[in-house]
Amino acid sequence: MTSTMLQIPARPFPYTLRPGLAALVIIDMQRDFIEPGGFGASLGNDVSRLQAAIEPSRQLLEAWRKRRWPVLHTRESHAPDLSDCPPAKRERGSPPRRIGDPGPMGRLLVRGEPGSEIVPALAPRSGEWVIDKPGKGAFHATSMQALLEAAGVTQLVFAGVTTEVCVQTTMREANDRGYDSLLVEEATESYFPAYKAATLEMIVAQGGIVGWTATLADVLGAIGES
Ligand code: C5J
């Protein structure tokens, strides 16, 4: 760890990154959201859109790993008996398959099934935190805050999917808990381009009411990776 602070060009104003104290948080880059036959596809989405976030997320992951900075992966997933999946979440719309139903990658959004795994390019390594979360926000009903506090993490740099659902929800939770959060624009995606664009604006509006956004090039450049 080094104490030198780094300035990242960002919106709505530069983000001061404290090396070693800023965890990279990669939200839900799971086969269930990104590959055909998973949960995202069962809701009628064009899942191919999310693939654009894989390579930028991989570049961030490589940069964090090289510096031995903290990395946290999340997986949206439920217990096999669905005891942590309320009807308010499962009984939405009339999709051909719901959470817990069998599909080509196993039971949708169920922990331990192939679909709930993170895509191979971003597979977690030993020493990296992996949080299984039943909700949209990664702080809800998980040990995330305790883990971060025990490690002295004070800042969060976000990547992952989907921008307006689990990424934004977790950034809002993080803001309420006192973390300065930055979202890397190319490393996040949505099934809906307009929702991604709107979310980036919402995050930085009103002086950064949720946090900051920055381009991948600006983040990598600021940490000396370009
Ligand atoms: C959704 C997520 N979209 N990871 N989950 O249901 O954003």
The ligand 1 atom nearest the CA atom of 160 = 4
The segments of the chain whose pLDDT lies below 50 read 1-2
Both tokens assigned to 153: 């993490």
Query: Catalytic one among 32, 85, 133, 218?
Result: 133
Question: Residue 34 Cα, ligand 1 centroid: separation in angstroms?
Answer: 10
Q: CA separation (Å) from 86 to 23, 79, 96, 142?
A: 30, 12, 19, 16
pLDDT at 77: 98
The ligand 1 atom nearest the CA atom of 27 = 4
pLDDT at 3: 58
Is 133 noted as a catalytic residue in this protein?
yes
Give the binding-site residues of ligand 1, using a 6 Å CB cut-off: 28, 33, 76, 161-162, 165-166
pLDDT at 1: 46
Question: Residue 95 Cα, ligand 1 centroid: separation in angstroms?
Answer: 15
pLDDT digits (tens, 9 = 90+) for 20-62: 999 999 999 999 999 999 999 999 999 999 999 999 999 999 9
Which residue's alpha carbon is nearest to atom 4 within ligand 1? Answer: 166
Residues 6+ apart with CB under 8 A from 40: 32, 33, 34, 47, 50, 191
Question: Residue 8 Cα, ligand 1 centroid: separation in angstroms?
Answer: 28
Angle at 85 between CA 50 and CA 114, to 5 degrees: 50
Per DSSP, the residues of 58-81 read HHHHHHHHHTT--EEEEEE-B-TT
Which residue's alpha carbon is nearest to atom 5 within ligand 1? Answer: 166
Query: Catalytic one among 28, 32, 132, 180?
Result: 28
Phi, psi (rounded to 5 degrees) for 23: -85, 140
Is 166 noted as a catalytic residue in this protein?
yes
Q: What is the pTM of this model?
A: 0.97
For residue 58, give the amino acid letter: R
Which residue's alpha carbon is nearest to atom 2 within ligand 1? Answer: 166
The alpha helices in 16-159, defined as continuous H runs, are 31-34, 39-42, 54-66, 87-90, 144-151
Which residue's alpha carbon is nearest to atom 6 within ligand 1? Answer: 165
Both tokens assigned to 84: 């942590």
Residues 6+ apart with CB under 8 A from 113: 105, 106, 107
Question: Residue 164 Cα, ligand 1 centroid: separation in angstroms?
Answer: 8
Is 84 noted as a catalytic residue in this protein?
no
The ligand 1 atom nearest the CA atom of 167 = 7
